[in-house]
Amino acid sequence: MSDDKVTLAHVARLAGVSMITVSKVLNNKGRISEATRARVLQAANQLGYVANSAARSLRGRPTQILGMVIPELVSPYFAEVARAAADSASQMGYDLAVFTTSRDPERERERVGTLLGGLADGLVFVVPIGAAGFLATLERSRSPVVLVNHFGAPTHLPVVRADSFEGSLAAVRHLIALGHRRIGFVSGAAHSSQAAERLRAYRECMMAAGLWDEQLVRPGDFTQGRGVEAGHELLSLENPPTAIFAASDLTAFGVIAAARSRGLRVPEDLSVVGFDDIPAAAHSHPGLTTVAHPIPAMARAAVELIARAMAGEKVRDVLIEFPSELVVRDSSAPPPAPGDRRKSP
Amino acid sequence: MSDDKVTLAHVARLAGVSMITVSKVLNNKGRISEATRARVLQAANQLGYVANSAARSLRGRPTQILGMVIPELVSPYFAEVARAAADSASQMGYDLAVFTTSRDPERERERVGTLLGGLADGLVFVVPIGAAGFLATLERSRSPVVLVNHFGAPTHLPVVRADSFEGSLAAVRHLIALGHRRIGFVSGAAHSSQAAERLRAYRECMMAAGLWDEQLVRPGDFTQGRGVEAGHELLSLENPPTAIFAASDLTAFGVIAAARSRGLRVPEDLSVVGFDDIPAAAHSHPGLTTVAHPIPAMARAAVELIARAMAGEKVRDVLIEFPSELVVRDSSAPPPAPGDRRKSP
DNA sequence: CTTTTTAGAGTTAACGTTAACCCATAACCT
DNA sequence: AGGTTATGGGTTAACGTTAACTCTAAAAAG
């Protein structure tokens, strides 16, 4: 009942021809008579033959597969990136093989090797926090590689990324324009260059407006849980903020949860702005004011860049940067009039 | 500057040893002197050597990679399944390679072949609408395979799935218990067996309660857009429903949007219940009453099953079914008192 | 001082597929 | 008839890696 692997040899024997003939039929190469072709296809079907892609790719054939290495799929941001890329790839006739690495550098290296070592024709590498230590290796590789959201060490590899600075600037300016003077900030993970950009924008803007106060900045890690903690920390200050800018939407949700648990209303008592514009931001109540990365556009650009590289085009040193954009929803409003604010316990 | 692929041979030449020695060092096999080992590692590093996984797997070595073939990542349900599986796999020391097929049967076959043909040690196949036509082929394969959410033709392959019937029953009963008598239903995609189960539960429950009316059932396709349309259709009936059960959360959001655009409040004027419990369901306003599949548990079960199969255990004919569960939030409430309801234009 | 053991390295062959040739046969020219 | 060209198909030799041996020299045992 259960054969082992079915190989070309099995099909060939059943069809009464050589392996090569089978290979030619299956790849539509060379000249084969209709009769032989039919016999081979029938035999292949009967045996349930499926080509061994490892052997095939070892022989140097393109696989029509694009690889993606991404830190994780758990956070909505990365999930969005993966699905957008899968979409774009599919539209261009490629399939996307998505690998997660849990941010383990050893795994990153391995997975990149797996993909470039024959499995995939090209690689989209979504750079994790802290960037990869083996970009040099990647540069040396002949295979087309595109880095997504790389902000680290300079490289000749093509990069597609979304700006975090301008969008963050817009967010803080928005809050200042609404009349806020005490604006808290919950930052992203320590080694994320995206997080650094967001903090830099906040700092620059606050300093320029003469509103800078180190107490208003709390470390974060992009998670919701940390948002809750940081929210409580900020709201416990003796001169608490009337608005909080969080470096991710999840963190912003955490801040909102913290505020509510203290009896504060959003946005009447506290304005909250997030970053990422994950789908939940639009569906939450109140709708979350946030900064959006154009993820589908980025994904499309990355896939297109890969395709161009595979077509032989030179893409060294290409850098495509997408602007981030402030999306104003309902979680930001003017600060409460002095004395009008509910006191948090 | 740019070498071609770096192979064992290159490393071997640089280190002044044979390829085999290099292989042994890199795989920690055989006896190698410390001096040689160090020399080889240094050479490998210097050249940026990465093993060619195609060749390696061709040779029969396990890859520590689990494959997942899934229709798409665009809908939150599938995205959740993928991320949960990646999580479980990672915890068990495996990596998950996720392939999307856009529901193209040809592609499914190809991708399954790619994965089983050396790339992956096992396969989690999330069965698309209408099931796969090549389960027989899969059954014959020696590689461990688990089907997720398979409801189609009987198979000996192990299956992990979530029930849709009981949860749907609970949802409709919940609405009836609240006092609703006119309960609409927007179904899922035509060929989805999950959708069929949900419809079957609705029909059975409504008939048992003497509330069945064919007019109240509208075809759907799991999308939000179709939810909007179907919502309008149902609310335009001369005797419109006071509650609508949608076969997916996205569709439910569409129904809510339709209701709001007609000036109806949810849940005061119209109760809405979804299915899936996607993350947005918890964050939306009002929180969506819905039926939850225990996706993380399913994913874990699937991965564990694969692991057991790889360990040699017999898993033929295993069927693990998880119950679905009604999650009551704020989008369902008693129907408005007669005459009290806002009229939709 | 010979024999046995063992550490350390190398040889051979094979995994499944296919590119690049090569070899028949038959049909077509001049 | 002798040569040329299609046509249909087979041979050979890799792709990069590694399992299972084999070989060598030196250390340990007798």
Per-residue 3-state assignment (H helix, E strand, C coil) for A103-150: CCHHHHHHHHHHHHHHHCCEEEEECCCCCCCCHHHHHHCCCCEEEECC
pLDDT grade, residue B91 (50/70/90)? confident
B325 DSSP β-pair partners = B292
Pairing of strands A122-126, A95-100: unpaired
Q: List all nucleotides in chain C with at least one atom under 7 A from a protein Cβ.
A: 7-12, 14-21
From chain B, the residues in CB contact with A100 under 8 A are 86, 90, 95-96
Q: A6-15, A208-217, A278-287: which range is least confident on average?
A: A278-287
Pull the structure tokens for residue A221: 């890690």
Residue A186 has pLDDT above 70, yes or no: yes
Q: Structure pTM?
A: 0.80
Neighbours of A60 (CB within 10 A): 8
Residue A225 has pLDDT above 50, yes or no: yes
pLDDT of residue B297: 95
The answer to whether the beta carbon of residue B47 comes closer than 7 angstroms to any atom of strand D is no
The whole-chain average pLDDT of chain A stands at: 88
pLDDT of residue A2: 39
| Residue A338: Cβ-neighbour burial (10 angstroms; 0-12, 13-18, 19+) | exposed
* CA A145-A147-A148 angle, 5° bins: 140
Mean pLDDT value of segment B105-111: 76
- In chain A, the residue whose alpha carbon lies closest to the alpha carbon of B57 is A54
Q: B54-63, B136-145, B273-282: which range is least confident on average?
A: B136-145
Are A89 and A95 in contact by the 8 Å Cβ rule? The answer is yes
| Whole-angstrom distance, CA of residue A132 vs CA of residue B298 | 33
Residue B313 has pLDDT above 70, yes or no: yes
Pairwise CB contact (< 8 Å): B54 & A51: no
Residue A109 has pLDDT above 60, yes or no: yes
Q: Residue B278: what residue type?
A: I
pLDDT of residue A340: 63
Are B202 and B185 in contact by the 8 Å Cβ rule? The answer is yes
Q: Which residue did the predictor score with more confidence, A139 or A8?
A: A8
Q: A14-18, A141-145, B222-226: which range is least confident on average?
A: A141-145
Listed in sequence order, the DSSP H helices in chain A are 8-15, 19-27, 34-47, 53-58, 76-91, 105-114, 135-140, 165-177, 193-208, 224-235, 249-261, 279-283, 295-310
| Whole-angstrom distance, CA of residue B11 vs CA of residue B40 | 7
Boundaries of CATH 1.10.260.40 in chain A? 8-51
Q: Which residue did the predictor score with more confidence, A286 or B341?
A: A286
Q: Which numeric CATH code is attached to B8-51?
A: 1.10.260.40
| Whole-angstrom distance, CA of residue A40 vs CA of residue A28 | 12
| Whole-angstrom distance, CA of residue A15 vs CA of residue A21 | 10
Pairwise CB contact (< 8 Å): B52 & A58: yes
| Whole-angstrom distance, CA of residue A201 vs CA of residue A179 | 19
The edge-to-edge listing of strands for the beta sheet with B145-148 is A319-322, A159-162, A145-148, A122-126, A65-70, A95-100, B95-100, B65-70, B122-126, B145-148, B159-162, B319-322
Q: Hey, CA dihedral for B192, B193, B195, B199, is it positive or negative?
A: positive
| Whole-angstrom distance, CA of residue A258 vs CA of residue A239 | 17
Domain B165-292 CATH assignment equals 3.40.50.970: no
Could you tell me what percent of chain A has a pLDDT over 70?
95
| Whole-angstrom distance, CA of residue A92 vs CA of residue B220 | 28
Report, at the CATH architecture level, how domain B65-163+294-323 is classified.
Answer: 3-Layer(aba) Sandwich (3.40)
Summarize pLDDT for A254-313 with one digit per residue, the tens.
999 899 889 999 999 999 999 999 877 887 778 899 999 999 999 999 999 998 988 888
Residue A220 has pLDDT above 60, yes or no: yes
Chain A: give the shortest CA distance to residue B134, in Å. Answer: 9
Which residue, chain included where needed, has tokens 């008592």?
A: A269
| Whole-angstrom distance, CA of residue A155 vs CA of residue B4 | 19
Summarize pLDDT for B200-249 with one digit per residue, the tens.
999 999 999 999 999 999 999 998 889 999 999 999 999 999 999 999 99
* CA B14-B18-B22 angle, 5° bins: 75
Q: A203-207, A325-329, B40-44, B322-326: which range is least confident on average?
A: B40-44
Boundaries of CATH 3.40.50.2300 in chain B? 65-163+294-323, 165-292
| Whole-angstrom distance, CA of residue A301 vs CA of residue B33 | 49
Of A288, A294, A264, A256, the closest CA to residue A274 belongs to: A288
Q: A90-94, A171-175, B327-331: which range is least confident on average?
A: A90-94
From chain A, the residues in CB contact with B111 under 8 A are 95
Of B289, B316, B295, the closest CA to residue B305 belongs to: B316
d(CA B50, C1' D21) / Å: 27
Chain B: give the shortest CA distance to residue A344, in Å. Answer: 24
Are A230 and A222 in contact by the 8 Å Cβ rule? The answer is no
| Whole-angstrom distance, CA of residue B317 vs CA of residue B236 | 48
From chain A, the residues in CB contact with B94 under 8 A are none
DSSP B220-261: --S-HHHHHHHHHHHHTSSS--SEEEESSHHHHHHHHHHHHH
Residue of A81, A119, A266 to mutate, testing the B interface (most B Cβ within 10 Å of its Cβ) = A119
Summarize pLDDT for B132-178 with one digit per residue, the tens.
567 877 787 778 899 999 988 888 999 999 999 999 999 999 999 99
Boundaries of CATH 3.40.50.2300 in chain A? 65-162+294-322, 165-292
| Whole-angstrom distance, CA of residue A69 vs CA of residue A99 | 5
From chain A, the residues in CB contact with B55 under 8 A are 54, 58, 117-118
Residue B1 has pLDDT above 50, yes or no: no
Measured CA to C1', the nucleotide nearest B34 is C8
Q: Which residue did the predictor score with more confidence, B335 or B50?
A: B335
pLDDT of residue B345: 53
Chain A: give the shortest CA distance to residue B20, in Å. Answer: 19
In whole angstroms, how far apart are CA B133 and each of A43, B122, B129, B152? Answer: 18, 19, 11, 10
pLDDT grade, residue A1 (50/70/90)? very low
Q: Which numeric CATH code is attached to A65-162+294-322?
A: 3.40.50.2300
Which residue, chain included where needed, has tokens 């849709």?
A: B164
From chain A, the residues in CB contact with B100 under 8 A are 86, 90, 95-96
Of B125, B69, B77, B82, the closest CA to residue B223 belongs to: B77
| Whole-angstrom distance, CA of residue A36 vs CA of residue A18 | 11
Which residue, chain included where needed, has tokens 């409504």?
A: B206
Q: B8-12, B33-37, B59-63: which range is least confident on average?
A: B59-63
Pairwise CB contact (< 8 Å): A52 & B136: no
Highest mean pLDDT pick, A79-93, A258-272, B80-94:
A258-272
d(CA B1, C1' D20) / Å: 38
Q: Residue A187: what residue type?
A: S
Highest mean pLDDT pick, A33-42, B92-101, B239-248:
B239-248
Q: Provide the phi-psi class of B176: left if phi over 0, else alpha when psi is between -120 and 50, else beta.
A: alpha
Q: Residue A229: what residue type?
A: E
pLDDT of residue A124: 94
Measured CA to C1', the nucleotide nearest B113 is C16
Pull the structure tokens for residue B39: 């020399």
Are A146 and A123 in contact by the 8 Å Cβ rule? The answer is yes
DSSP for residue A216: G
* CA B174-B176-B182 angle, 5° bins: 130
